[in-house]
Chain A
Amino acid sequence: METLKENILGSLERFFTEVGSILLFTGNVIRQFFTAPFEHKELLKQGYYIGNKTLPLIAITGFIMGLVLTLQSRPVMVDFGAESLLPGMIAISIVREIGPVITALLCAGKISSGIGAELGAMKVTEQLDAMEVSGAKPLNYVVATRVMATTILVPILVFFADAVGLFGSFAALNMREDISFRLFLSLAFDSLGFADVIPATIKTIFFGFFIGLIGSYKGYTADRGTESVGLSANSAVVTASLVIFIIDLVAVQLSELIYGF
């Protein structure tokens, strides 16, 4: 009984220490956003890498997402005689929820793990120490640029995924019935309002921030052994995915509070 109590207290202590450490790290990273020198070249380089690495994956996933969602939903809508509502329903589903969450999860798997492994390797091979000794701040040069790049890039990737997803949906509908692209878009966009787009966009900014932050934190705080590089990458994916769902949950509650849905 005593051991169980000690284990629980130990776990709680570790949990709160980790949370405290992440909060401190977050504060330091945000401070670097407003600290000179601003590393615009590195930001562009990271932005290019992140976009370039994930774009094909997002495009394929987005297309399949729209296609499958339409194929699965259509029979039910036909049964209810509500086929004409299908483009609007798919558009709302993709823009509000499926597009942002699926894209963010893909980015967590691809980008967050990549950043975790890269920074972990830099830590193990003393590159971060070398930067520090040379008078450069690794938090400024390495971390802040990556976090800023994901914060900017993830919402753009989500827009892209939404667009490709809608095209996938149109392709699925067009296979089953005769519908023009213009009519499909008209039906889809008639159902969408700012209340759908704005909260979804705001939450993707948070998704992007935390995808970069968690990957960076896990890599930056890796132990010195080579094993820790893999652990950082793995831990970055798991934690970032969990945080994405938590942010989504909070975002849905806030949207309901503000817009009443």
Chain B
Amino acid sequence: METVIEIKHLEKAFNDIPVLTDINLELKRGENIAILGKSGTGKSVLTKCIVRLVQADDGEVLVLGNDVLRMDDEQLNEIRKKVGYLFQGGALYDSMTVRENLEFQIRRTQLEKNKTELRQLVEESLENVGLLDAINKMPGELSGGMKKRIGLARTLILKPKVILYDEPTTGLDPVTSGEISELILAVQEKYNTSSIIITHDIKCAKMTANQVKIMKDGKFYAEGTFSELCESDDQEVKAYFS
């Protein structure tokens, strides 16, 4: 299987305090990796390093074969179009309606599309997340779960090859969390995407991940499939699954 993301010996420190130390990761096409870990262990920093929202200090981050740490802004923008990022709170633009949020995403990259094509793309994306009714609403009128769904629709509109989910189910009730996890799976099946899912939600990791990694103090402490880690004798690993 083709490798879509490969991270080699990634290092990041803030004010001389190491946040990521010697991180290595390989994500193959169609695969989902869930990263578990306590708050402040560097999970979100890792995903931000992948799209260079945070500049890593050392190592290599190869996205679709291109080293994002050593490319110019033009090349980086091209790579970013192929990598979707779902932020913790959805990060919808407050001053725009749901429709405008989605249109904003595509208007820079697909200027040749006419209004009808744009409308179709927006509606198709919203249908994928089951929220076509919310097309003219403002983000302030949406619930937390709806914001995340719209955030996912906005990510999907560019048909990315890789999606990075930053705590997709945090702050949601168990039913909505389950729906979001199902949505992640549905998206993977429909678009054959690969995903890195940062989460605290064990159920979400169980449902969505082919591989689970546990982060501790900026390093991968344990990794394997969900069932392998469930059966681990290590007390710290067990603590996540008890």
A residues with CB within 8 A of B:
37, 121-122, 125-127, 129-136
Contacts known (A125-B89, A130-B85); A136 close to B94, Cβ less than 8 A: no
Task: Say whether, besides A122-B94, A127-B94, A129-B53, A136 and B87 are in contact (CB < 8 Å).
Answer: no
* B53–A132 CB distance below 8 A: yes
B203 smallest CB distance to A (angstroms)? 24
Given contacts A121-B94, A122-B94, contact A133 B51 (CB under 8 A): yes
- 0/1 string, B75-112, CB within 8 A of A gives 1: 00100110101011101111000000000110011000
Instruction: Give B79's nearest chain A residue, CB to CB.
Output: A135
CA distance A167 to B149 in the complex (A): 55
Chain B residues lying within 8 Å of A132, measured Cβ to Cβ, are: 53, 80
Q: Shortest CB–CB separation between residue A232 and chain B, in angstroms?
A: 16
A135 touching B85 in the complex, CB below 8 Å, given contacts A122-B94, A129-B53, A130-B91: no
Known: A122-B94, A127-B92, A127-B94. A135 touches B87 (CB 8 A): no
Q: Could you tell me if A126 and B104 are in contact, using CB atoms closer than 8 angstroms?
A: no
Q: How far is the CB of B107 from chain A (nearest CB, A)?
A: 9
Q: Does B108 lie within 8 Å of A37, measured CB to CB?
A: yes
Sampled A-B contacts (8; CB under 8 Å): A125-B91, A125-B94, A127-B92, A130-B85, A133-B80, A133-B85, A134-B108, A135-B108
Interchain CB contact (< 8 A) of B108 among A126, A127, A130, A136:
A136
A133 to B163, CA, bound (A): 12
Are A133 and B53 in touch, CB under 8 angstroms?
yes
Distance, CA A117 to CA B89, complexed state (A): 19
A214 to B104, CA, bound (A): 26
A131 to B80, CA, bound (A): 11
Known: A122-B94, A135-B109. A129 touches B80 (CB 8 A): no
Given contacts A133-B85, A136-B108, contact A127 B91 (CB under 8 A): yes
* CB interface residues, B 106-129, toward A, < 8 Å: 108-109
Main DSSP-derived SS at the A contact region: helix
Chain B residues near A125 (CB, 8 Å)? 89, 91, 94
Q: How far is the CA of A131 from the CA of B85 in the complex (A)?
A: 11
Count of chain B residues with a beta carbon within 8 Å of a chain A beta carbon: 20
B94 touches A129 (CB 8 A): no
Question: Closest CB of chain B to A224's CB: distance in Å?
Answer: 11
Label chain B's interface by main secondary structure: loop
Q: How many A-B residue pairs have CB under 8 A?
A: 45
Q: Which 5 A-B pairs have the closest CB atoms?
A: A130-B91, A126-B91, A135-B77, A126-B87, A133-B85
Least CB distance, B204 to chain A, in whole angstroms: 20
CB distance from A13 to the nearest CB of B (A): 14
Distance in angstroms between the alpha carbons of A131 and B108 in the assembled complex = 11
For B77, the chain A residues whose CB sits under 8 A away are 135
Q: With A37-B108, A129-B53 as given contacts, are A134 and B80 in contact (CB-CB < 8 Å)? A: yes
Q: Which residues of A contact B48 (CB under 8 A)?
A: 129
The CA-CA distance from A127 to B96 in the complex, in Å, is: 12
Given contacts A129-B91, A130-B93, 17 further A-B contacts (CB under 8 A): A122-B94, A125-B89, A125-B91, A125-B94, A126-B87, A126-B88, A126-B91, A127-B91, A130-B92, A133-B51, A133-B80, A133-B85, A134-B158, A135-B80, A135-B81, A135-B108, A136-B108
Q: Which residues of B contact A131 (CB under 8 A)?
A: 93
- Chain A residues, CB < 8 A from B92: 127, 130
Which residues from A are CB-within-8-Å of B88? Answer: 126
Query: What residue in chain B is nearest A135 (Cβ atoms)?
Result: B77
Q: Which residue of A lies closest to B105 (CB)?
A: A134
- Chain A residues lying within 8 Å of B81, measured Cβ to Cβ, are 135
Bound-state Cα–Cα, A126 to B151, Å: 12
Which residue on chain B has the smallest CB distance to residue A42?
B95
Which of chain B's residues have a CB closer than 8 A to the CB of A134?
Answer: 80, 104-105, 108, 158
Note all chain B residues with C-beta closer than 8 A to A121.
94
Q: From residue 166 to 190 of chain B, which have CB atoms closer than 8 A to chain A?
A: none
B101's nearest neighbour on chain A, judged by CB, is A130
Q: How far is the CA of A236 from the CA of B104 in the complex (A)?
A: 28
Least CB distance from B114 to A in Å reads: 17
Q: Which residues from chain B contact A37 at a C-beta distance below 8 Å?
A: 108
What is the distance, in angstroms, from B193's C-beta to the closest C-beta of chain A?
16
- Complexed CA–CA distance, A135 and B74 (Å): 9
Cβ-closest chain B residue relative to A131: B93
Bound Cα distance from A121 to B48, whole angstroms? 19
Residues on the A chain within 8 Å of B108, using CB: 37, 134-136
Residues of A within 8 A of B105 (CB): 134
Complex Cα distance, B89 from A121, in Å, reads 13
A121 CA / B93 CA spacing, docked (Å): 11
